[in-house]
Structure 1
Amino acid sequence: MNNHNLFAALRAAFPTDLDAIAVETDDELCYSWRDLDRATAMMANLLASLDLPAGARVAVQVEKSVEAMMLYLATLRAGYVFLPLNTAYQSAEIEYFIGNAEPAVVVCSPKNFGWVSKIAFQAGTRNVFTLGDDRTGSLLDRAAVHSDVHEPAAKAADDLAAILYTSGTTGRSKGAMLTHGNMLSNAQVLKDYWGWQPGDVLVHALPIFHVHGLFVAIHGALLNGSKMLWFGKFDPRGAIAAMRRATVFMGVPTLYVRMLAEPSLTREAVGSMRLFVAGSAPLLPETFNAWRERTGHTILERYGMSETVMLTSNPYRPEQGERRAGTVGFPLPGVGLRIVGDDGRELPQGEIGGIQVRGPNVFKGYWRMPEKTQEEFTADGWFKTGDVGLVDERGYARIVGRSKDLIISGGYNVYPAEIEGYINELPGVAESALVGVPHPDFGEVGVAVVTARPGATVEPDAVIATLKSRLANFKIPKRCFVVDELPRNTMGKVQKNLLRDQHKGLFT
């Protein structure tokens, strides 16, 4: 294939019968493969008509819908760069992303047009469209007048396809640049490794603003010509009911916990299912075991990042080994993984160190941050993931911690330094520390511990209320405590491990 445009590869995998159902939604709408082809062509032609510069970014913050997926595919098709933004992001965050990425096009929910368009126009964006989750919005109105035929733009494998923002420990978000080649190579590897087969049907219940739902799930289904049963929002009962007509489900641990709470989850209900995949956050062994006992299926846990798409996976085929609770399996074909000590030396099996990776799936670097990119890659080209782990005696990788102090709540990344920065700016606050503690539903949630300035009073509820007006909901601490002082070691560093221990039983 001379054209390495990811869309061209996905389009080539569409079934010969374009009138077959490609997507069926939870509100009983059906989209054929022909609908996907025509609608993405019209949107691609709309983007092409805007006279955008080469490599233009299309920033999108909309609710989940099939049309939103089509917009992603149309952006690839037209040869531009897709920039998905979490629907929970508030004005301060959107202002940063638009200022940093300088998108030529911004697409937002109709209800947010007032404030999003103001930020976008002030930043120099010329085109702002709306897209609702009910098939309304100016994007669809404008696309409707364009041709439904479009030749995918010619792209090299190394050309940029998407930018995903991932917060840093300093609180400054970094845009991970993923190429057409990064994503296509990963999708092709997973198609084989996870045994995608004719007749597979995917229950799509994930958000589509991050790697798991947007890339792993959608690319997997499209590259296999597989129908998707589409949920705008996760509904445990609805998802279980849909499994009678499906074979594959991908979810974060929180989704599995919620389905286990439903009496309708039985072996009979999942009798036609072939594969359950979990990722984006650690899967507790209790959840792993409870699911196997209840359904007869063993969840396949895997490991990936915004910067790399998928890196490792527990085996799909029994002859490759068992799926082991608490592990993320083996490096995928073509992916290198090594465990490195503080001195940069590769460690033997069983020893804990920093996880480094390389492969065709590893991103191009951080958007407009050459120094940060250089810092995160070794001299011999390995990417430092920031995760801490080991490879056991049987070759299975285990993630044992996160050197970057990350909290993963319900599958979303929460970076303490970012939240602490906002808390420390509040009136009366002297200092704060955010720690992650176990939570039965979200896996982990943030707890803020705050000290007040001399003579000042800080109200815990007021801290949380103020954060809610500024930040995405998944970043908001579930509890806030005001204390006289934070525990420190002899070097003056806050001992977050003591705070975690102190509050670890709050929700369990």
Structure 2
Amino acid sequence: MSHAIASLYRLLLASAPSDPSAPMLISPDGTRLSHGEAHHLAGRLARGLATCGAVPGDRVSVRADKSPTSVLLYLACLRGGFVYVPFNTAYTEDELAYLIGDAEPAVMVGRPEDEAFLNAQAARHGARAVLTLAADGGGSVRDLMASERCEGAPADLRPDDLAAMLYTSGTTGKPKGAMLTQDNLAANGLALAEAWRFQADDVLLHALPLFHAHGLFVACHTTWLAGASMLWLPGFDRDRVLDLLPQATVFMGVPTFYTRLLADPRLTAERVAGMRLFVSGSAPLLAETHRAFEERTGKAILERYGMTETGMNTSNPYDGPRRPGAVGPALPGVSVRVVDEEGAEVPAETVGDVQVKGRNVMKGYWKLPEKTREEFTADGWFKTGDVGRIDAEGYLHIVGRAKDLIISGGYNVYPKEVEDVIDALDGVVESAVVGVPHPDFGEVGVAVVVTRGAVDEAKVLAHCKAHLANYKVPKNAFFVVDLPRNTMGKVQKALLRDTYKGLFAG
């Protein structure tokens, strides 16, 4: 891992099993896609995208349901040097329109029912092609792949060429494109495969979405770099997961997956006897969930810590204590430090701002050079926006978030974005959205609203549902005369969180 890697795809090709018939994906119906077949089809699809006018460095935006074809599309983009830009399937047209305008994709891929909307966006922003991809893997993407008889050669790339761009929001509410390079993704994937002891005989039960770094990078890259296989589910379904666990060796999930599995008596030590690793991420895992899972199954969940801009930064050890409430030491090739307000590193057990450095850290934010500079220190460390402490044994503990981010069911919800939508509703003076604990989703948003007219909870929530993905919609709306503020006029969200923290308790 000492040398920068110029092409993630060439690394994946080199890591593929010597037997090309070895399975890469196994669908619930038993259908298999081999490693050899996957790379052959990805080569044809890469050539097809080129015939649509895409050239290396162009963005290919994708808002499609998870299917084997969607994996081939990702591999095709890596092979052709096209920048893969996934969008959450829950996004509304308002949200998509902004992202498309910002990313300026050369090719847009969407569900068949999105085609008219995407064609209008293509005309507006100059995209060269619109393709469809249905939930069953059908559509013009598959037709394009079938129509190409030859494979496109893997593109010649440099380590700092972009491989993917994932959007993440901030306190401004405007999503930013995190530019992830070939070397960012390759170095992080190799670090994880090494840290988590992935081998060719591993079988990962994949129930995560593909538009998120967890399901797309962490799950897929570690599996492919070991030449291993995946049991492929279109999404998390507790019954299917429980049925398939005896056939798997690794499972990756968000904390919500684990609380739902624990709620089912079929989760037993016998059922998971063949599992060697359970990984949790994308949101904090409650210590009580960690302990309950180990008591029930005899398996300790391995929790790790990462973010869109950096990939994975730390991980509880594969061999060694996996501590509830901690996210472990830094991964190989990654440095983590905790600093005070002046930027000076603090002693062990001292709470401060978490910063990271390494080949995993993004190139920057798309078209936002000033924002990129703001998020890095003068000596090259990335400011995560998280608050934490490193204990005497080197384990990082995340204790809070500097930017009031809400993580609900593993998905990031940025209060400012939701507040902007609520504030646009006629009759609303202002609003504040805060996260409160929830037994299933980890946390959920609630809105506290000041009004001057006939606005009720149903109206606020319906307005949010019309303009935001469902996971961003607050669970409740409460009405107050004034929002609490400090002497500087800043809304005291800590007070609001404290007021409503017991809403879903018990």
Partner of 2:207: 205
Partner of 2:408: 409
- Matched length: 503
For the Cα contact (< 8 Å) 1:41–1:147, is it kept in 2?
no
Partner of 2:485: 488
CA distance in 1, matches of 2:416, 2:151: 48
For the Cα contact (< 8 Å) 1:450–1:481, is it kept in 2?
yes
TM-aligned CA deviation for residue 2 of structure 1: 10
Secondary structure of the equivalent of 1:171?
coil
TM-aligned CA deviation for residue 262 of structure 1: 1.4
1:107 and 2:106 aligned: no
Farther off after superposition, 235-244 or 225-234: 235-244
In the TM superposition, 1:469-488 aligns within 5 A as: 469-488=466-485
Farther off after superposition, 28-37 or 441-450: 28-37
CA distance in 2, matches of 1:354, 1:56: 35
Partner of 1:419: 418
In the TM superposition, 1:349-368 aligns within 5 A as: 349-368=348-367
What is the TM-score when the length of structure 1 is the normalising length?
0.97
Partner of 1:499: 496
Partner of 2:335: 336
Partner of 1:187: 189
CA distance in 2, matches of 1:177, 1:403: 22
TM-aligned CA deviation for residue 184 of structure 1: 0.4
TM-aligned CA deviation for residue 379 of structure 1: 0.5
TM-aligned CA deviation for residue 250 of structure 1: 0.5
CA deviation string 1:367-399 (max 9, x = no partner)? 000000000000010000000000012211000
Paired residue type of 2:296: R
Partner of 1:435: 434
1:55 and 2:57 aligned: yes
CA deviation string 1:147-183 (max 9, x = no partner)? 3433211111111111110001110111000000000
Partner of 2:300: 298
CA distance in 2, matches of 1:116, 1:303: 35
Secondary structure of the equivalent of 2:491?
coil
Secondary structure of the equivalent of 1:506?
coil
CA deviation string 1:7-48 (max 9, x = no partner)? 111122111221222211123322122220121011101012
CA distance in 2, matches of 1:147, 1:7: 21
Partner of 2:369: 370
Partner of 2:253: 251
Secondary structure of the equivalent of 1:142?
helix
Partner of 2:236: 234
Partner of 1:31: 33
TM-aligned CA deviation for residue 460 of structure 1: 1.2
Farther off after superposition, 135-144 or 374-383: 135-144
Paired residue type of 1:100: D
CA distance in 1, matches of 2:327, 2:150: 43
For the Cα contact (< 8 Å) 2:52–2:128, is it kept in 1?
no
Choose which of 100, 121, 131 in structure 2 pairs with 1:98.
100
Paired residue type of 2:129: N
For the Cα contact (< 8 Å) 2:63–2:89, is it kept in 1?
yes
For the Cα contact (< 8 Å) 1:237–1:259, is it kept in 2?
no
What is the TM-score when the length of structure 2 is the normalising length?
0.97
Secondary structure of the equivalent of 1:398?
strand
For the Cα contact (< 8 Å) 1:61–1:85, is it kept in 2?
yes
For the Cα contact (< 8 Å) 2:70–2:137, is it kept in 1?
no
For the Cα contact (< 8 Å) 1:237–1:262, is it kept in 2?
no
For the Cα contact (< 8 Å) 1:56–1:103, is it kept in 2?
yes
Identity %: 54
CA distance in 2, matches of 1:116, 1:37: 28
Secondary structure of the equivalent of 1:469?
helix
TM-aligned CA deviation for residue 4 of structure 1: 2.0
Partner of 1:139: 141
CA distance in 1, matches of 2:196, 2:463: 44
Secondary structure of the equivalent of 1:129?
strand
1:80 and 2:82 aligned: yes
CA distance in 1, matches of 2:364, 2:59: 16
Partner of 1:459: 456
CA distance in 2, matches of 1:89, 1:6: 28
Secondary structure of the equivalent of 2:256?
helix
TM-aligned CA deviation for residue 411 of structure 1: 0.4
CA distance in 2, matches of 1:444, 1:117: 37
For the Cα contact (< 8 Å) 2:5–2:183, is it kept in 1?
no
For the Cα contact (< 8 Å) 2:199–2:227, is it kept in 1?
no
Partner of 2:465: 468
For the Cα contact (< 8 Å) 1:59–1:82, is it kept in 2?
yes
CA distance in 2, matches of 1:497, 1:254: 24
CA distance in 2, matches of 1:198, 1:159: 29
CA deviation string 1:47-74 (max 9, x = no partner)? 1222334410000000011110110110
Paired residue type of 1:498: L
Structure 1 gaps of 5+ residues are none
CA distance in 2, matches of 1:335, 1:215: 17
Paired residue type of 2:77: T
Paired residue type of 1:467: C
Partner of 1:284: 286
For the Cα contact (< 8 Å) 2:437–2:444, is it kept in 1?
yes
CA distance in 2, matches of 1:120, 1:465: 29
For the Cα contact (< 8 Å) 1:387–1:399, is it kept in 2?
yes
For the Cα contact (< 8 Å) 2:164–2:181, is it kept in 1?
yes
- Computed over aligned residues only, the root mean square deviation of the Cα atoms, in angstroms, reads 1.3
Farther off after superposition, 382-391 or 29-38: 29-38
CA distance in 2, matches of 1:418, 1:176: 18
CA distance in 1, matches of 2:31, 2:134: 15
TM-aligned CA deviation for residue 3 of structure 1: 7.4
TM-aligned CA deviation for residue 197 of structure 1: 2.0
In the TM superposition, 1:13-24 aligns within 5 A as: 13-24=15-26
1:214 and 2:216 aligned: yes
For the Cα contact (< 8 Å) 1:3–1:155, is it kept in 2?
no
CA distance in 1, matches of 2:449, 2:423: 9
Paired residue type of 2:501: K
CA distance in 2, matches of 1:227, 1:52: 30
For the Cα contact (< 8 Å) 1:458–1:482, is it kept in 2?
no
Paired residue type of 1:184: A
Partner of 1:128: 130
1:388 and 2:390 aligned: no
CA distance in 1, matches of 2:198, 2:17: 15
Structure 2 gaps of 5+ residues are none
CA distance in 1, matches of 2:85, 2:293: 35
